[in-house]
Amino acid sequence: MLEVLAILTLLFVGAVVFGVIALLAGLFKIVLKLALLPLVLGLKALVFVVLFVLALVVVGPVVLALGLVLLVPLLILGGIVWAGVAIVT
């Protein structure tokens, strides 16, 4: 009978020790995540800024070229309108 009680006591103590280790591991994981949060947010912000600048470098010349292509017809149209207004008035 005492052997069964000893085995049950060992199982109970083992479960308690395992539970304490699991709780400490979870607490350590949360503390580590909170400690690294500013670093992760800083890196995400840095990546965002780099990608934003890269997008501006890629998209900027495309928009400039498109604007230059559209500028000539708009200038012609503006000149025609101006001439029409000058003739009417």
Three-state SS string across 48-76, please? HHHHHHHHHHHHHHHHHHHHHHHHHHHHH
Number of residues that make up the chain: 89
Q: How many alpha carbons fall within 13 Å on the CB side of residue 61?
A: 3
Distance CA 25, CA 20 (A): 9
pLDDT tens digits, 18-55 = 999 999 999 999 999 988 888 888 899 999 999 999 99
Give the model's confidence band at 67: pLDDT under 50 very low, under 70 low, under 90 confident, else very high: confident
